[in-house]
Structure 1
Amino acid sequence: MTAHAPDSPSAWEYDEVIPGLHRVRCGISNAYLWRPAGDERATLVDTGPVGTFPRLRRTLTDLGVAPHQLERVVLTHFHDDHTAAAAEVVAWSGARVVAGRADAPHIRGETPGPVPVLTAAEVRLHAAVTSSAVAEALEPVAACPVDVEVDDGDLLDLGDLAGGPSVAAHVLVLPGHTPGSIALHLPAVGVVLTGDAVAEHEGRIVLGPFGIDREQAWRDAARLASLEVDVACFGHGEPVIGRAAQALRSLTDAFA
């Protein structure tokens, strides 16, 4: 069932992917909120583009998350359409920020991030995005502190499911998109949050566009496809709910 903030347009709706996990539609990208029933702690994965924060705050409030209950913000990579609201979320909540070690300096604003290596199709896609009404979302954003730099294999404690197991997020570093791009694998609930390593585009599961190393990106996608998961949540596009492993193994490159 999809719920809406009272004054929010449909572009900002949120929905429950599985119990305890909500997808928040942040215009051109997705954020994900993890908060199991009965657990006051919450984790937000990504924060959307410029202008997201007021609506994101309203969504968190609608879902019953008070500022002090947002324990952490995980940023899957440094691109602005996933990090632009992070500094505002941290100022509102006091949440600790988690990011891949290699992307942390870019999120902090210490160094510029590497420029994507684009195919001709990606050049056209980028032009379409930047010439549309969402061009403002690609403007430079405020730097954000990173409290915890994670590496491949690190674990994030996401709390206990009501009457069920403890849930840990296994960090997967996938450097084909950005040097410190990460995905989160939650084996206890059969979920992977892929960041931008993979996307859903026009009903297909595709290699995420705008990466820095296409060959590495394919290796990253193969790693994700090796996971036995039922649900895959992407930084862009619709989640796959049910038989996600099979969907990931059928991934194509729409922007080669």
Structure 2
Amino acid sequence: MDIVDARPRLTMFRFPIGQAYLWYDDDGLTLVDSGHAGAAPAVEKGIRAVGRDPALLRRIVLTHDLGFGDGAVVVHAPGHTDGSMGIHLPRHGGLFTGDAIAAVERRVILGVFNTDRARAKASMSRLAASAPETVCCGHGDPVTEDTAAVLRAAAKEAAAAE
């Protein structure tokens, strides 16, 4: 792996195929893409080589190939934050919602602490339309029983609430 200083606070890790970028900011490190499967040891070594502590890695942002096999779909789900997203695995019936949706005491609800409640409600409805078999929320246990109906009902309830 080659290590290239792209600019202050930005380093590129160039692999034989593809690359990853390490961004340093005041609250930690962000890795944009992560290299090929099995690249973690090289990335860790690269982070150390530029004088950074891998323990400060706060975010990994993938721009493609989510590693779940074919068919993974990123769903823009703004509302909690402008950049919130979900990951839908239609082939496997899975939906990862981040903080857009929460499962609290066996009840599915709109995520809390939203920057834009109207957009959060619309995002919840859009995520519910995927009719998943399993929902994994940013907070709470996975929903695995009657999931599509539970999620649709929760989205309808959230949409009707003030």
Secondary structure, aligned partner of 1:176: coil
Question: What's the TM-score, normalizing by structure 2?
Answer: 0.58
**1:206-225 pair list within 5 angstroms:** 206-225=109-128
Q: Does 1:69 align with 2:69?
A: no
Q: 1:228 to 1:90 in 2, by over 3 A?
A: farther
Q: Gaps spanning 5+ residues in structure 1: where?
A: 1-67, 72-88, 95-140, 160-165
Instruction: Name the CA distance, whole Å, in 2 between partners of 1:236 and 1:92.
Output: 29
Q: 1:189 to 1:70 in 2, by over 3 A?
A: farther
Secondary structure, aligned partner of 2:67: strand
Question: What's the TM-score, normalizing by structure 1?
Answer: 0.38
Instruction: Specify the alignment match of 2:65 in structure 1.
Output: 156
Instruction: Name the CA distance, whole Å, in 2 between partners of 1:210 and 1:173.
Output: 18
Residues matched between the structures, number:
115
Q: Gaps spanning 5+ residues in structure 2: where?
A: 1-36, 47-54
Aligned with residue 97 of structure 2, among 183, 190, 194: 194
Aligned with residue 246 of structure 1, among 149, 156, 159: 149
Deviant stretches of 4+, over 3 Å? 68-71, 89-94, 141-148
User: Does the 8 Å contact 1:172/1:184 carry over to 2?
Assistant: yes
> RMSD of the alignment, in Å?
3.4
Instruction: Name the CA distance, whole Å, in 1 between partners of 2:96 and 2:121.
Output: 17
Superposed CA deviations along residues 219-247 of structure 1, whole A, max 9, x for unmatched, are: 00000111121111111001111321111
Instruction: Name the CA distance, whole Å, in 1 between partners of 2:61 and 2:125.
Output: 30
Cα deviation for residue 69 of structure 1 reads 3.5
Larger radius of gyration: 2
Greater percentage in strand? 2
1:216 aligned partner, one-letter code:
R
2:105 aligned partner, one-letter code:
E
Identity %, equivalent residues: 33
